[in-house]
Amino acid sequence: MVCTNRRDEGHPKGSCGAKDADSILVGLKELLAKRGLARSFRACGTTCLDLCEIGATVVQEPAHVAYGNVTKGDLDEIVTAMERGEVVERLVVPR
């Protein structure tokens, strides 16, 4: 799940939508399709995951981990981890 929520510009919490989340979602979908994984894994946009200050935020299930400060450059590593049933520890938001 990729948070694509947008808040008003200047909001103190910020928003994932203002941090390139829309293109991260598109890039994730494209990468899953390119690797032939779109039937096994799904990329969806969602509204606020309440982690705005560390957005763009992605939640990986079923591991139920939240990744913060995700960029398009992280997507290959995230998809590889998903394939392996692993998580990208460097992006994990502390629980």
Tokens of 61: 């299930």
Q: What is the mean pLDDT of the chain?
A: 92
CB 82 within 8 A of CB 61: no
> How would residue 1 be classed by pLDDT, with cut points 50, 70 and 90?
very high
Would the pTM count as exceeding 0.75? yes
pLDDT (tens digit, 9 = 90+) per residue, 27-43? 999 999 999 999 999 99
pLDDT (tens digit, 9 = 90+) per residue, 63-81? 899 999 999 999 999 999 9
* Poorest-pLDDT segment among 21-30, 53-62, 68-77: 53-62
pLDDT (tens digit, 9 = 90+) per residue, 5-16? 998 888 888 889
Report how far residue 38's alpha carbon sits from residue 23's, in angstroms, rounded to the nearest whole number.
17
Tokens of 47: 């509204």
